[in-house]
Structure 1
Amino acid sequence: MDPSAAKEDLNQVINSIQKTLGLLHQLHLTISSFTPANKHHLLNRINSLVSELDSMAKLSEKCNIQVPMEVLNLIDDGKNPDEFTRDVLNSCVARNQVTKGKTDAFKDLRKHILEELEQTFPDEVDMYREIRATSAAETKRLAQSQTVLPNGDAKVKSEL
């Protein structure tokens, strides 16, 4: 689906929600000051609300928005759904810190093993370092010869 069409569909639903909220407010005012003389006015407001809810339901069928159940449960409990976002971000930060710790531990282990190997096999470690440097230079050259396309794919320059 075209992103601009999806955004337009979503904007229509949002406008319908805002209109429904306005109609609910008007209905509340009508009910709070209800007299038998204005029952036709009340019926018109109810019919307008039902019509707008029907319109909103039809417009929402065009939108494909998935809301996590946790967010709906927070709303049902009367809590702010931003708490869900905050909790997800905090969880990501915590997992990132754990992953960074593991990565740092592996780097330290690699460094320690390389130091131990260098004491025992200095010539082999020198050859290993040369191979790694050559490989890194080749990877860098290859990366510089590629162009990233808007879709994330890499376009390799042809060498003639």
Structure 2
Amino acid sequence: MTTANISPSTENAPLVATIDQLQGVIENFIELGVLVHDNQGTQQSHTALIHKTNQLIGQLGSLESNTDNEQYPIPIDVLTYIEDGRNPDIYTREFVESTAKSNAKLKGRMQAFAQLRDVLGEKLVQELPRLKDSVEEIKAKTS
């Protein structure tokens, strides 16, 4: 994740800071993984492992206690998606696609109801000419 896609305005400053914190946490997880993998069992490697673990715990605590993150709530569905080992970008793409399909369906329904309104209004005016003003008024209000 990079901050290149986020404008450097003061409005986005908390988001940029959070991204930087997350990048630091990710780097520390990688370093911790390397330390665990290369652990020789010596006191020096044990001390380095403890130091890196404490550093990571401090970073996670700082990230969790940051109140700026509350303005960017993350939906539970996204967290579940990530916990299942799936890419959140795919979740976003699927969400956008399903929303676009839903919007297209709703647009079709709205157009169908508008056509029904127009046809029904025409038939009413043909059968009951005295209702013409009322029908036109309704059409104007619902257009």
Q: TM-score, normalised by structure 2?
A: 0.66
Aligned residues between the structures = 128
Question: 1:37 deviation in Å?
Answer: 5.2
Structure 1 residue 69: deviation in Å? 1.3
Secondary structure of the structure 1 residue equivalent to 2:69 = coil
Q: Which structure has greater helix proportion?
A: 2
1:71 match: secondary structure: helix
Q: Match for 2:99: what amino acid?
A: C
Q: Which amino acid aligns with 1:23?
A: N
Letter in structure 2 aligned against 1:38:
Q
Structure 2 counterpart of 1:112? 119
Q: CA offset at residue 18 of structure 1?
A: 1.0
Match of 2:44 in 1: 38
1:11 and 1:71 map into 2 onto residues whose CA distance is 20
**How far apart, in 2, do the equivalents of 1:124 and 1:25 lie?**
76
Match of 1:73 in 2: 80
Judged with a 3 Å threshold, the aligned counterparts in structure 2 of structure 1 residues 89 and 118 are, in CA distance, closer, same or farther, namely same
Structure 2 counterparts to residues 11-160 of structure 1, below 5 A: 11-35=16-40, 36=42, 38-39=44-45, 40-58=47-65, 60-64=66-70, 65-121=72-128, 125=132
SS in structure 2 opposite 1:30? Answer: helix
Is 1:8 the counterpart of 2:13 in the alignment? yes
Q: Secondary structure at the match of 2:55?
A: helix
Q: Within 1, Cα distance between the matches of 2:56 and 2:87?
A: 26
Q: Shift of the alpha carbon at 1:68?
A: 1.3
TM-score (norm 1): 0.60
Aligned partners of 1:47, 1:110: CA distance in 2, in Å?
Answer: 68
Query: Equivalents in 1 of 2:48, 2:113: separation in Å?
Result: 74
Q: Which amino acid aligns with 1:31?
A: V
Paired letter, 1:24: F
Q: Deviations over 1:131-156 (max 9, x none)?
A: 76xx79xxxxxxxxxxxxxxxxxxxx
- Structure 2 residues without counterparts, runs of 5 or longer: 1-8
| Percent of aligned pairs with the same amino acid | 26
Cα 1:106–1:42 change in 2 (3 A) is closer
Shift of 1:115: 3.0
Q: Return the alpha-carbon distance in structure 1 between the equivalents of residues 25 and 131 of structure 2.
A: 75
Root mean square deviation, CA, Å: 3.0
Alpha carbons of 1:61 and 1:97: their partners in 2 closer, same or farther (altered >3 Å)?
same
Task: Flag structure 1 segments of 5+ consecutive residues without an equivalent.
Answer: 137-160
Which structure would you say has the larger Rg?
Answer: 1
